[in-house]
A and B are shown apart, each in its own frame.
Chain A
Amino acid sequence: MKSQWYASAGTPLLKTINLFKTVLPILFGMLLLINLLNPLLATHYADWFNGHYLHDTLIGALAGSISFGIPITSYIVGGELVGKGVSLLAVTAFIMAWTTVGVAMLPLEAAFLGKKFALIRNLLNFLFAIILAALTVFTLGLCQ
Chain B
Amino acid sequence: MTLFALELRKLLRRRSARLGLAVCFLLPLLWPWAPRVEALFGIELVSGWQLPAVSLGVLVQFLLPLFIAVTCAELIGSEVSGGTLAPLLLRPVNRTRVLTGKLLVALLYPLLLVLATVAGSLLAGLVVGLGPFTGGTGLGPGFFQGVGTLTPGQALGQVLRASFLAAVMLLPVASLAVLFGVMYLNTAAAALATLATLNILRLFAVFPESLQRLLPTSHFDLYVRQADVTPGLILLLIYTLGFGVLAALAFERRDV
Q: Tell me, yes or no, whether A binds B.
A: no
Chain A positions near chain B (C-beta within 8 angstroms): none
